[in-house]
Amino acid sequence: MGSTASISDTETGVIILSGDRLFPEGVTVTRAGTFYIGSMEEGLILKSDPGMKEAGPFIEAGANGLVSVLGLYADDSRGILWACSCDAGNGKLTGTAPVGVKAFDLHTGAARGSYDFPGGGFANDLTIDPEGNLYVTDSWTPRILRLPTGGSVLEEWINDAQLGVEQWSLNGIDYDKDSGVIYTVNQLKGKLFRIAVESDGSAGRVTLIKTSQELRRPDGLKVIDSDTLATTEGGAGGVAVMVIKGDTAEVTRVSEGLDGVTTFAFYQGSAWIVEGQADHFWDPDNAGPDAKPPFRLVEVPLN
């Protein structure tokens, strides 16, 4: 088992996310180092250009049907910012638009598409393969939806009970371009799965990866390098690195102790982790309705 470093030993950079009730969740970064961060409470998206220490407004609340913003993906090759828009009944814009995936111009913020979730659900996180096909997890059912390149409708790519039939199961997702597979995590059970992508684009075999330590509420998930993944852990307040060998993974916790971590973006060898204080958003009765601003995007090197 790997060692764990405290956040004070690893934290090197911080971007401030202004707003008393922002409750940030999703984050993504372009190749040039521009960060985009979404708000669950306000239904808006912030942007931080390279070198900036604070994120500013980019896409206004409710634009293109945004409700609660979760997973984000910067599609540099097509100039698109993809966003998961959800509604669990507790955001400021609840009930104003269907759940789905939204597309915006990466540079101007103009709306470029809107794709409703068939049958409803909870669009949590998303990834894209080299051909431009988009995959998005549904946290309320054991399914992953797919938007084919150039398509106009989200389609059910896989629906498999072993991924987790309980509400709030599927969460982070990423495509591994080296092996051509999809990785995803079950947040509720602390599990990591690998899903084969067949030559015709359909979903193939689902494999449960046995981890050396149980993952503690895994959230954001990224392929870092060949056979190496990282995930933020809401139950640990940090990030864990997983080295895959066959159907097993050696887990090393790189940091812990942040306040309510959600997802992260990987940039220049570091995990930029959203410190979202989300317990105040999801469980105000026990945690209290108000967070302790400022919310932050925190850099943790993955050495």
Q: Which residues of 84-95 are buried (b: 16+ CB within 10 A; e: fewer)?
A: bbbbbeebbbee
DSSP per position, 81-147: EEEEEE--S-STTTTSS-SEEEEEETTT--EEEEEEPTT---EEEEEE-TT--EEEEETTTTEEEEE
Question: What residues does 233 pair with on adjacent strands?
Answer: 218, 238
- By DSSP bridging, strand 248-255 and strand 203-211 are parallel
What rounded mean pLDDT belongs to the chain? 94
Q: Which amino acid is at 176?
A: D
Q: What's the pLDDT score for residue 106?
A: 98
Q: What's the pLDDT score for residue 11?
A: 53
Mean pLDDT across 144-167: 97
86-144 pLDDT, tens per residue? Answer: 999 999 999 999 999 999 999 999 999 999 999 999 999 999 999 999 999 999 999 99
**Is residue 9's pLDDT more than 80?**
no
Neighbours of 117 (CB within 10 A): 22
Q: What's the pLDDT score for residue 303?
A: 74
26: closest CA among 217, 230, 274? 274
Phi/psi region, residue 51 (left: phi>0; alpha: psi -120 to 50; beta: rest), is left
DSSP per position, 169-223: -EEEEEEETTTTEEEEEETTTTEEEEEEE-TTS-EEEEEEEEESS--SSEEEEEE
pTM for this predicted structure: 0.95
Q: What's the pLDDT score for residue 3?
A: 36
Q: What's the pLDDT score for residue 2?
A: 40
Residue 15 banded pLDDT, cuts 50, 70, 90: very high
Pick the CATH number of 21-209+263-290 from 3.90.45.10, 2.120.10.30, 2.30.30.60, 3.40.50.720: 2.120.10.30
Query: Considering Cα of 115, then 184, then 274, then 235, what sign does the dihedral take?
Result: positive
